Amino acid sequence: MAIAGTPWYREWRAPPALARHVVCSWAGRFGDEGEPFTDRVLPDGCIDIVWTGGRLIVAGPDTHHVPLPRRPGARFVGLRFRPGFAPAVLRAPASVLVDRRIDLGEVIGARAARLDDGLRCAPSLGAAADTLATAVIGWLADSHAPDRMVEAAVARLRAAESPRPVAALARDLGVSERHLHRRFVAAVGYGPKVLHRILRFRRFLRLATANAKGEIARLALDAGYADHAHLGRDCQELAGLPPGRLAGRLLTDA
Q: Sorting pLDDT into bands at 50, 70 and 90, what band is 2?
A: very low
> Model pTM?
0.92
Q: Which CATH number fits domain 148-246: 1.10.10.60, 3.40.50.720, 3.30.70.270, 3.40.50.620?
A: 1.10.10.60
Give the separation between CA 51 and CA 61, rounded to whole angstroms: 16
The pLDDT tens digits of the residues spanning 25-34 come to 999 999 988 8
Domain ranges of the chain: 8-140, 148-246
Q: Sorting pLDDT into bands at 50, 70 and 90, what band is 1?
A: very low
Omega of the bond prior to 61 within 30 degrees of 0, cis?
A: yes
Q: Around Cβ 223, how many Cβ atoms within 10 Å?
A: 22
Closest CA to 23 of 8, 9, 37, 11: 11
The pLDDT tens digits of the residues spanning 104-129 come to 999 999 999 999 999 999 999 999 99
